């Protein structure tokens, strides 16, 4: 047990875990800012591009877990991928707060206006639209959205790590 703990903290698993965790956080955050800078988040036809963050996380986890596959047991490998995602999620949480409070302070109002227009075009009544917008606004706060992003990153990382560990088996 001491050898495994020493290996984990002495650069064995921790170095790539930290490196790829930071990479997940930075790359996903950069993509979010690209979505904001180009106003893609306000275009209903382009909103699906937000999900590129999952592809980014998947690619970084594939590369990161390949680096540690030969040294780790199944559990260690799943933990490494999950820890990469936890590290990335901390960065994502912080940059999301900055995104919605400082850089794009009207982000939620602009999303509501876009959704209002979509609902109007779909034939909803004014009362229905206001009720739906009010319901959406309950979770559209900088803190909650950052928390959802953090939680989503961790859960996605755990699921991807479970799958990838089965693919990148420890060589005997």
Could you read off the pLDDT of 55-75 as tens digits, one per residue? Answer: 999 999 999 998 888 888 889
Which of 113, 109, 95, 114 shows the shortest CA–CA distance to 32? 95
122-172 per-position pLDDT tens digit: 999 999 999 999 999 999 999 999 999 999 999 999 999 999 877 776 554
**Counting beta carbons within 10 angstroms of the beta carbon of residue 55, is it exposed (0 to 12), middle (13 to 18) or buried (19 or more)?**
exposed
CA distance 60 to 31: 14
What's the pTM value of the predicted model, to 2 decimals? 0.85
Q: How many residues does the chain have?
A: 172
Convert 74-110 to b/e letters by CB count within 10 Å (16 or more is b): eebbbbbbbbbbbbbbbbbbebbbebbeeebeebbee
């Amino acid at each position: 047990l001491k050898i495994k703990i020493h290996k984990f903290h002495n650069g064995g698993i921790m170095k790539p875990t930290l490196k790829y965790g930071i990479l997940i956080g930075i790359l996903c955050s950069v993509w979010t800012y690209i979505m904001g800078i180009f106003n893609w988040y306000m275009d209903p036809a382009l909103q699906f591009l937000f999900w590129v963050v999952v592809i980014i996380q998947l690619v970084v986890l594939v590369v990161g877990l390949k680096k540690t596959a030969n040294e780790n047991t199944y559990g260690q490998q799943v933990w490494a991928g999950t820890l990469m995602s936890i590290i990335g999620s901390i960065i994502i949480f912080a940059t999301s707060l900055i995104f919605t409070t400082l850089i794009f302070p009207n982000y939620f109002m602009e999303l509501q206006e876009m959704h209002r227009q979509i609902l109007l075009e779909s034939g909803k009544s004014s009362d229905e639209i206001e009720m739906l917008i009010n319901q959406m606004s309950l979770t559209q706060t900088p803190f909650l959205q950052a928390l959802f992003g953090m939680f989503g990153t961790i859960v996605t990382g755990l699921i991807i790590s479970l799958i990838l560990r089965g693919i990148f088996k420890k060589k005997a």
